[in-house]
Amino acid sequence: MKWMAMALISLQLLEAAVVKAYWGVLEDPKNDPAHKYHSGNLGVVFKPLAYLDSMYLGEISIGTPSQNFLVLFDTGSSILWVPSVQCQSRACASHPRFNPNMSSTYSSNGQIFSAQHGSGSLSGVYGYDTEGEPCCRMLPASGFDGIMGLAYRALAEGRSITALQGRLQAGLLSSQVFSFYLGRDRSSQNRAVLIFRGIDHSLHKGTNLLGPSQESPPPKCPELELLRALLSSPFRFLIGGCATSWCSQGCQAIVDTGTSLLTFIMDCNNVQNLPTLTFLISRVRLSLPYHSFLFTENGICALGVQATYLPSSSGQPLWILGVVFLRSYYSIFDIGNNRVGCATAA
């Protein structure tokens, strides 16, 4: 099926869960998952030593005739990139590579781009294929071939048009709303789905969705102009139902399908003593019992918690509500009204 036409309503997502490393020395520097929100920062990135990766992937096609790639759908970035035949590194050699000479609709102005993600950085050349939709090309990070960013173009270097905006401008999407269901049931074939053009109400419980409308952010503050939605409403954090001093002066939170780094290893015999984590947003309690943020693989238990040290543009602490959170909540991204919604997943 030709992805560029975006004729399908939903994309079935594949889950990849791999233990990257076992017990290790945790004093070594680790990468910060919030680095990708600051595209100009391309410093040295360190690989975590205790890391359980859980990603949601789907297949797209680029070019004429189509060339297929397995990508990570990421609401925390805006660039669509896949590896190119011009990349000769070992990392690229293990993945399908886009051949621009094999596509009759490909063009490029030679503009260089660079991008940073939580687990590494990359650089390449902007290319355009099928109705001017950008497809950036260079090396991938690991098991998937590339990343399709779903955030606003403000995160893209040079603010080039994004793949999602290209679909909207071409009139190929009847709705400016898309949503994710990232289920926890690995035995179900429908455990994860990305839905364009609206909401599937069978995938959530209740109708009271979180996320009041947010005014369009000013152009001088591109960090706020994100589809992953900075929630400006009151935000509090509770542990075991008890209030904490964290976020007592307010926080901002990012709903990010591309963040899944897990770095905290613990004794599996003590997991039943873990408390429930609760996020209080707009007076709505969103709770995560311990089994929601605990992952076990080959007898190893890892918590889906990682520190980030980059503040938001307002100076308030920045929280990233990634895959660990989104497995419990059906997430809705409303581009037209600049808002995000969450409801308990079915």
Could you give the residue numbers annotated as active site?
Answer: 74, 256
Between the alpha carbon of residue 219 and those of residues 66, 135, 160, 215, the distances in Å are 36, 24, 15, 12
> Among residues 103, 91, 28, 96, which one has the least CA distance to residue 63?
103
Residue type, 163: A
Query: Do residues 14 and 292 make contact, with C-beta atoms less than 8 angstroms apart?
Result: no
Question: If you write DSSP's letter for every residue of 243-294 in order, what string do you get?
Answer: E-STTTT--EEEE-TT-----EEE-GGGGGGPPPEEEEETTEEEEE-GGGSE
HSE of 37, CA atoms in CB hemisphere, 13 A: 30
Token pair 């890892």 is found at 302
**Length of the chain (residues):** 346
Query: Do residues 160 and 134 make contact, with C-beta atoms less than 8 angstroms apart?
Result: yes
SS (H, E, C) 290-311: HHHCEEEECCEEEECCCCCCCC
CA pair distance 253, 112, nearest whole angstrom: 31
Residues linked to residue 286 through DSSP beta bridges, in sequence order: 279
Query: Do residues 323 and 182 make contact, with C-beta atoms less than 8 angstroms apart?
Result: yes
Q: Which two tokens stand for residue 207?
A: 């109708």
> Among residues 174, 179, 205, which one has the least CA distance to residue 192?
179
Other C-beta atoms within 10 Å of 25: how many?
7
Query: Do residues 38 and 116 make contact, with C-beta atoms less than 8 angstroms apart?
Result: yes
Q: Which residues of 4-18 are buried (b: 16+ CB within 10 A; e: fewer)?
A: bebeeebbebebeee
